[in-house]
Structure formats: structure tokens, C-alpha cells
Structure 1
């Protein structure tokens, strides 16, 4: 039995399993053990198989215990930022991940990645090895601090970007870690803990409580009212649509939502952040809803619908074509993590997994069929017969196989992937809301370890790659075999589309990418191919032949060559960011 009661998670399309499949052992009559070993036990029982990080003097003893225990593998990365990106990628597939670093230089080094996890609803726990308690109590001037005796500033920084924080003590370490894990798991947000170095070997508290990681229960009366509300609205709607966002995947309710969709014959669309979570070959699938830039009539279809049920939908600038969504106010209903919001009324204390599972069980013979039609919707990209990104992405669409994991960095890569029709069971890992370029290369390390039996494709631009590409060395060291498409536009193409198409500030150094595998110490574990024309691409895609080796494919394009829609995306960003300079012809404040 899982210590995490996931109720309706079911069979997740991205291969995610329950965080744990065993129970905490009772500590009665067991000899006292150290706090460090107790924390390891808790992580093991929470299903953690890997902890990412970078060693530093304040977390070294914990890492010694971790290595000697042997049940959890430490995955050392090139830097702390990459470690957290890798944990983020792992958590998107496995459901929850942990990263450990040292204090100050380490945890602040990954703060941007944790902010990204918060923005994208990814549960990651940061365990920061902190200075000893006696030093912080006395205000000692230590390294990795500001040398001012302040030991609260780092914790305060993380308060802004995590859902819960704690400095562990000898009296509460186990209890507090359990609390933090529950918060991360139930809220789908990152958490932060400091572990002072001098308590790692201290005796653990007795009677650490058995964990209870269940989602909060809904108010049963309100839950019943919500179900009646949905059924009432669905029975009277002529053109209902389901609009799915990433939160549905984070809470594991996609499979049940799809069953509801089939039961009621409801057309459905996905937000860009949820692409890859739902089948795209269904006759009910409408496509990706991107505000006014939605393709083939989807914008008008949703705008005219008399009932649009959102599943965790957030309209963010970069995922809504700069707030250009148009949905009738009286038609909009959104299921959020713990509430349902509609035009005239809201229902609080309704937990999303319980709501969806209850809705699915609703016994009715009334199956209204929507008058909406998805047959005209197609997201197939334009095919050009000349070399360029239009042609490249049309060929990539045919190259992708069922159940691939596709990791796409922001900019040209994500714009290209979002225009593809995906086969069954594919998953997409990206960071469109926080939007940190370079996120995907370390995230690939995490997805590789979380799902080693699935083929994994990374699409990343040269500018993004130069930020975090050193993490390929960790993949080579571990013998991982992803296929990496390095999109070389000789600079920041997405920025060129916004401002400065020919400006020097959008240029980057010209790396010799073919020498990287040798420089990273893994030439025998990897293969490099350079592509710059149609015949070269066809040869690679027909026979990638990477076998059990990492394959790095550099694909060269002109600096202003982007996938379909990228130039329009750049114009929308420019108009919104600089309204006094460039106007806001298509954006309302």
C-alpha cells in the first residue's frame, strides 16, 4: 500500500507511478539511529531512488551516510542550477524529486530553478546542508555567508519561491521532513529544508509519526453540489468544450478526464503547457489553444462555446498569445487544485482528484453530444521544399515515435514542437511559463533516469545549450543514450524575433560542437553528426544509429530562420513589453 493516497491517479500517460509502494516501518523497539539515517529512511519510504546535487562541506556527512546506506543513489551534477533542473525533469515523470546542496553558494545557486519549479507546479524538495547550529546561534562569521552573522537571509529568500520551509533541528527533523514532503506532494510545489551539519549524527527523535500524504478531503456537501452543477450545465450545453492545462497532469487526473470526455463525447483542447498530456489522434481532439493564434478555427470555436470547462487552466502571457483568449464569461468554469470557479459562483474546499474521480463515477444515461466539430482542426506544419526550419520540423513530426519523451527548450525548439501532431503516449517536458533557456539539457538528465526505457529526444537552441550543455558530460559518464538536436542559429533567434534582429547583443560565441564529446571525456560513449541540408537530415532521420550511445546532432540554420509562428510570437512580446516604443496594436492592457 502506498503511503501516498493518490486515489485517482490511475495509469498516467507519462509513466508516472505512485511515489511509494511501501509503509514506514514502526520504530517501536528499534535502537536509536542518527537524524541523517532517519531522513534517508523517510526519503526511501517516499519512493526516492535518486538525489541530485553537488557536494559541499555542509552536506558532506549526509552524503557519506547516503552512500554507505546504498538505497538511494547520489547523482552529482556540474553545478547546483543544473542539479535542480535535473530534479525538476525527474519529478515531472516520477512525481517527486530531491536535490541536496550546501548552504549559501549552493542553495542560492539553484534558486532560479526552484522558482521555475514553483511557476510550473513541480514538487521538488531542496535539502541544504547548513552551518552547524552552534555557529548560527553565536553569529559566527563563516564562509558561504555574508560574514555578518545573519543566518536567516537565505531562508527568507526561499520563502518567496517555495510553498514551505524549515530549519531542521534535533528535536523535529523527522517530523518536519514529513511535513515538507506532504506539502510538496499535495500542493505540487517545491519546498526547502536546511539541515545543520552538527545534527546529522545526533540521535533521532523517537516516535516520528507515520506519514499521511493524502490529499485533503473535500467537503462532501460542496462536492455533491459541484457534481450536480456540472451535470446540470452539461445537460443544457449545446457546444461544451474541455480545456486542459498542465495542472491536470501534475495531479494525475488526465486519464480520468479522458474517460469523462469519452463518456460525454466532449471535444477537448489543451493549453500549450499541457501539450503531450492527451492523445492527439482522437476524433474529439481540437488542438492547442493559443488565444488568437490558435490554428484552424479553434479560437472561434472556443469563443462561441456555451460551456468551457477548464482543468487547472492559467492564462499566462506566453501561453495565451498575450492574453488574447476569448471565452464567454457565462460559459467559463475552471477546476483548480482545491476549488471550482465559475462566472456567478465558486466552490471552495473541493480537491481536484476527488472531484474528477467522483464526476467519473456519476451514473447517468444522458450523454449529450457537443455540436462542436474537431475534424477541421489540424496542426500539421507547413512543408517547404527548401532547407530551413519549416522543412526540418515537418520531418521531425514523422520521426517522433509513440511513447517518446520530447524535451523542448524555450524559443525555436518549443515553437517547433508545439506545431507538431504527436503520436500516442508521447510526453513533452518544457518550461514555457518560467521560461529559463537552458533548462532542458539538465532536465533531460532527470527524465533519462526517471524513465530509462523510453526513447528521449532533446531539442535545444545553441544559445540555451551554451548555458547548461556541460551536463552532457554527466549523461556520457552514465552511459545514457538520448538523441539531442542542437538547433544552431548562431545566436538568440527568439530574441532576434522580439528586438535586435541584426544586433550584436544577440550573437554568441561559435563553439566547435563536434569537439564537445571528446572534451567531456565520452567520445566513445557518444556520436556527433552535423547537418545543414535536406539530404543530410534525411540520412540522419532514416538511420539515427545511435544504438546505446548518446547522439548529438548539430542542425544549422540562418539566424532569422524560425519555425512557423515564431516571428508573430516575437511581435506580440515586443508590443506588450515596449508599448510606448512599438505600440500595442494587438494587445490590451
Structure 2
């Protein structure tokens, strides 16, 4: 830690702030405009460099790191070409409320003022094109100059904490090494506190309403994960009569074998039989950290009325039309827990457990999705981060009951293909005690495959299942299955781990249930990383994906 009575550079100050916020890894790529900044930031011993193959991958990795680690992520790029490569990843973080700081190394302040015609620019003298672009996908931005840069860093990072969304910092070459007082680091940056009066009013309103209700159901969303409040939801589940459902972005927020668990809510495609009615017909529905989108509601097939519910959001609470601004999610959930702790709600009907997928094919028959997911259900060990790409992998994973101390990492709102491979790398760094198991389709993997070697050489010995099914299966199920644009080049997948630097990874070529069973048994050994090429028929897909693809096709057909 720097001498807080002396001076440090702007770069070292930024690094110190990030480590104070729990960030221990910096993702990105070097470029001539950010190397001053990198040199200064990496002199801070607690910040470890993680170089990606490209800036998009680095942004995805920072996102996965922040989600799984319940911390903040940081990605650093060079000006123009680098920051534009990262913008899709940052947009996904914005859409899904993930706190990530995009740090861009800019040319010097003299070059910016003079409009010098430098490389990586548009040769028009305007150096703020790209900072303005980032305004659309970040909640705060700053291009630092010599006028109190530490105050600007603190302002931007504080906005990230308050909104749980990305921010943008542009740091010119000369500013990165500029000396600044270190004493501001004595004051920690924290998430804004709730308004005590608003919390008191909300608590009183809950005390007035809830004792008059005989049933209470909680719909828990990904905001609970973002704030690390899973324990608060678990305490609610222990109150007699309360039932808990999760959204697709927060599967297993409560142990899925808990008696109060309703599983994952997806409107009329909800996985637990009878669970939809418990949510839609709740005496009182409490939405905690939820999102509202096509995927989270089963393509708007939900029957509950959000406007009639009790909502506890990141920065406000609401009871029907009554709004309580300034009640933060942490305190709103604590208030709910306090009020219900002394209540007993009427017992709700038992909801039948989801029927687990059954391996219905013989060991020597061609493998299909149903059998693959049944074998995954049997095999998944405790303390796993299951990382599932949007499409066949994610919607198959929703049917799996996760083991204890496990999590599902996906991107159900932004749904950018290729996200999960770099995100699994970030997740492995954030939670090294949890072994990552990545399931990704061949089409998605081709976008970000350069990080495969980096992932497979991580000490947590990840397991990667590459679903080889000849192209974009999810798109085929939506429209034009035989169109040429659904095809992808055939790759020698078995050769890729070694070619990308993971020569010690164990490679399995799987086409039958027996081969998959054997490969998973071998992968149980945590001393080595395993890469499974899993061959499936082009037109086979998990049952939930087929239902949702049908919903997308119907919506698209009306436009």
C-alpha cells in the first residue's frame, strides 16, 4: 500500500482504489497509449495482470470475474481500436447490472488539445468520439486531466458502486504518471447508504400489510447475486409458509433441494410443475432484485402483475403504487426479513419436484441432449461454477438441479454468443475454490476460442464440454434451418487445446452415452483439466430451448 502521507501517481492511485474494492486482477491488452498506465498500476503489488487475446475477451472475462466474485471487474485497453473492441462486452455488463470499469489509455493531453493526427484516431482532431460512445453503455465517464484526477476517479467508481453498472475512465499518457496526494485513499469508497426515514417507512408499511396476508412468495432475481445477498434469501426460506422462486439469471440462489424452493420461474415454461401458479397467484408476491424481460418471463407468459407486487430493487422499494426511493436492496431485504421473522404464513401446497432428465439411450447409441443432461446431472460435483453459453447449453442447464455450493453463470439478457469462454476464465480467477465446468456450442466457441488455452491452464483444472453440432442450432430452431448462414467451418477440435497452449489438458472425443460417462468419470480427477468434444446431431436440442425458440419465432413472425 502506498504511503498515504506522501504522493503517488494517478495510475497507482487507480490501482489502489480497485484493490480496496476487492478487485485483484486487471484484464486487458497493452497498447502504446496505455503502457504508462499499465506500468504504474502494476507496481501496486495486489493487482495481477491478466492479458487477453483481444479486448472483447478481456471485457467478457472482467464481467465473469465481477459476477462470480461478487466484486468489481476492471478491463484496460488502448485508445480507439482497443476500447471499441471491448464495447460489446461492456454493453453486456450494463444490460445485466455488472460493475466493471473500462479504463482507456489515451494519447497525451497535448496531443488531445492540439488535435494531432495520430494513429488509432479518425484524423479529424476530435479525441472524444469514443468516450462519447461509451456514454450509452456506462453510468459515469471521465477523461482525466490535471484538475484533481483523484476526485474524478472517486466520482466515477462511486457511481459504479451505486448503480452496479459499468463506468468509463480515460487516462492520457502523461496523466497516468502525474503525481497526486495519496491521502484521499484513507477514505474508502462505499455503496451509498439507504435513507433511514425511507427504510423506516417501508418497514412500517410491511408490518401493516404482511400480517394480513396468508401466503407470501418471493421471486428472487440476479440483483441478489450482484449484492451478495444470497444469505438473506435463505433466511426468508426458513420462515414457515414462504416459498422462493428464482429467475433465469439467478438459478440456485437458494439451494434447489430446499423445501421452500420453487426452482426457476419462466412463466408458462416454468420448470417445476405447479410452481407457476404459486408465483402468479401468490397472496403477496415480493420481487427481490428482479429483471423484467422476454426470457425472464417465458416470453411474457407470466400472469403476475409487477405493479401489484412488493418490489425491492437496487435503489428503491415499492409496495403496489407506493414508492420508497432511497431504500437500497440490502436494507430492503433486511427489512423484509425482520418483519416476516415473527410471522407464520399458511402452508402452501407442495410443488412436485422437477423430473430429472433420464439417460434413455444405451451406452453404444448416438448421444442426444436428454441423455447428455441426465449424465451431467449425475456427475456434477459440489462447489462447481457451471458456465453455460446462451442457446443449447444454457437452456439445457436450467433443467439440471445444481449441487450444493454451486452457481450457474450465463448471460440471459444480453445473450452475446462467445461470452462464456472468457467469462469462465474470469470466474476461475474470482472463485478459485470452485471448479469451472464450461458448456459451450461450436458456433459460440469459434468467436472467443483464443482464450481456451488460458482457461484450460488455470490451476482450478476446468472441465470444458464443447458441444459439436455443426453450427447455430438455436438459430436453426427459430428460422431457416437449412440457410447457409447457419453453417460454420468444421474445425479439428481435438487438436485445439494443445495448439492453444494447453498441452497437458486431457482430450476426450465423445459421441455415445458410454463415452461421455467414461469421460466425466475421468474428469472427476481435479488434478488435470479436461476438454470433451461432445458430438450431437445437428437438429437435436434441449426441450426448453425448443419451447423458447418457438416463442421467439412467433414473436418475430408478427413483426
Aligned to 2:325: 348
Tell me which of 522, 529, 538 is aligned to 1:550: 529
Question: Using the alignment, how far apart are the partners of 2:456 and 2:295 within structure 1?
Answer: 34
Deviations 1:297-346 (A, max 9, x none): 22223222221100022220122121111115675221111112333322
Asked if 1 retains the 8 angstrom alpha-carbon contact of 2:66 and 2:100, the reply is: yes
Specify the alignment match of 2:220 in structure 1.
244
Determine whether 1:177 maps to 2:157: no
Q: How does 1:150-549 map to 2 (within 5 A)?
A: 150-205=126-181, 207-208=183-184, 210-295=186-271, 296-328=273-305, 331-362=308-339, 365-369=342-346, 371-378=347-354, 380-385=356-361, 387-476=367-456, 478=458, 481-523=461-503, 525-544=504-523, 547-549=526-528
> Residue by residue, what CA displacement relative to the aligned partner does 1:462-510 show, whole Å, maximum 9, x if unpaired?
0000000110122355555200000111100000110112222111111
- Can you list the C-alpha shifts for 1:251-280, whole angstroms capped at 9, x where unaligned? 122211221231354111001111032210
Hey, what's the Cα distance between the residues in 2 that align with 1:329 and 1:189?
Answer: 23
Q: Contact 2:421 / 2:452 at 8 angstroms: preserved in 1? A: yes
Moved >6 Å (runs of 4+): none
Q: What are the Cα deviations for residues 37-57 of structure 1, in whole angstroms up to 9, with x where unaligned? A: 222333333333210100000
Quote the offset at 1:209 in angstroms. 6.0
Contact 2:453 2:501 in 1 (8 A): yes
Give distance in 2, aligned partners of 1:146 and 1:374. Answer: 63
State the SS of the aligned residue for 1:341.
strand
Give distance in 2, aligned partners of 1:545 and 1:289: 31
Deviation at 1:362, TM superposition (A): 4.3
Distance 1:155 1:50 in 2: 24
Q: Distance in 2 between matches of 1:460 and 1:206?
A: 45
Shift of 1:25: 6.6
**Local SS of the residue matching 1:204:** strand
Give the TM-score normalised by structure 1.
0.90
In the alignment, structure 1 residue 145 sits paired with structure 2 residue 121? yes
Aligned to 1:42: 17
Q: Distance in 2 between matches of 1:44 and 1:343?
A: 40
Q: CA deviation at 1:550?
A: 2.2
1:82 is matched with 57
Correspondences of 1:27-176 after superposition (within 5 Å): 27-28=4-5, 30=6, 32-94=7-69, 95-176=71-152
> In structure 1, what is the Cα distance between the partners aligned to 2:172 and 2:303?
51
Q: Give how far 1:26 is off.
A: 6.8
Preserved CA contact (<8 Å) 2:392 2:441: yes
1:193-244: CA deviations, max 9, x gaps? Answer: 0000022222225753643433323232321221122233322222221000
Moved more, 484-493 or 40-49: 40-49
Q: Aligned residue for 1:570? A: 549
Contact in 2 for aligned 1:381/1:564 (Cα 8 Å)? no
Deviates more, 1:291-300 or 1:380-389: 380-389
Q: What SS does the aligned partner of 1:437 have? A: coil
* Helix, strand or coil at the partner of 2:150: helix
Deviation at 1:382, TM superposition (A): 4.9
Deviations 1:275-305 (A, max 9, x none): 0322101111111110111131222232222
2: CA distance, partners of 1:314 / 1:364: 26
Q: What secondary structure sits across from 1:317 in the alignment?
A: coil
What is the CA–CA distance in structure 2 between the aligned matches of 1:464 and 1:86, rounded to whole Å? 15
- Aligned partners of 1:38 and 1:174 also within 8 Å: yes
| Contact 1:284–1:374 (8 Å) recurs in 2 | no
Number of positions where the alignment pairs a residue of Structure 1 with one of Structure 2? 553
Distance in 2 of aligned mates of 1:374 and 1:165: 50
2:88 aligns to what SS in structure 1?
helix
Match of residue 558, structure 2, among 579, 582, 585:
579
Give the whole-Å Cα distance in 1 for the aligned partners of 2:193 and 2:502: 51
Cα distance in 1 for partners of 2:83, 2:493 equals 30
Preserved CA contact (<8 Å) 1:35 1:205: no
In the TM superposition, residue 72 of structure 1 has moved relative to its aligned partner by: 1.6
- Provide structure 1 residue ranges, at least 5 long, that are not aligned to the other structure: 1-23, 581-589
Correspondence for 1:11: none
How far apart, in 1, do the equivalents of 2:101 and 2:52 lie?
A: 16
Counterpart Cα distance in 1 of 2:114 and 2:63: 36
How does the TM-score come out when normalised to structure 2?
A: 0.94
Distance 1:209 1:540 in 2: 50
